[in-house]
Amino acid sequence: MRVLASGFGLGRSPLAPGTVGTLAAVPFALLWAGLPPVGGLAVLLFAVPLGAYLCDRAEAADGGHDPGWIVCDEMVGFWVAVAWLPPGWGTWGAAFVLFRLFDILKPPPAGWVDRRMPGGWGILLDDVVAGVYARLLLVLGQWAGLL
């Protein structure tokens, strides 16, 4: 459980564990990038409750609120940001930066979810919101011809 919650240990990085831990999401996202849309949706529908469970169990085992080494929430948030995007350095790099920015800044309702929702769901859903914000900006960027 701790291995998965820590992004296979990347969340134990002494520097920027959330950012380093998000890197654990990339190989999985590459595997799922070739799935048809319904397959990608199935992955996300499985990953969200599993991520909440892992976050909840890891937080309970650690004893603190949302310890920095738990990064499976960042993984799921990044998967939301790149869902149905073809892999590419530009778009996925932008998704990575935007996701991390929104995860750190926690614009509403992400900050509210982080502060008010207990346990694993609170840990996970602020990252899902950050992923949605990143994805929306990417869609706008594509629509405007910037990506």
Q: Mean pLDDT by 10-residue block, N- to C-terminus, for the chain (147 residues)? A: 91 94 95 93 96 96 88 97 93 96 94 89 96 96 86
What are the helix (H) ranges across the chain?
Answer: 2-5, 17-22, 25-32, 37-62, 72-82, 89-105, 110-116, 119-143
Residue pair 128/105 in contact (Cβ under 8 Å)? The answer is no
What pLDDT score does 66 carry? Answer: 85
Other C-beta atoms lying within 10 Å of the C-beta of residue 83: 19
145 burial (CB, 10 Å; 0-12 / 13-18 / 19+) is: exposed
What pLDDT score does 50 carry? Answer: 97
What pLDDT score does 105 carry? Answer: 95
Sketch the domain layout of the chain as residue ranges.
Answer: 2-143
What pLDDT score does 88 carry? Answer: 92
What pLDDT score does 147 carry? Answer: 76
What pLDDT score does 114 carry? Answer: 84
What pLDDT score does 2 carry? Answer: 87
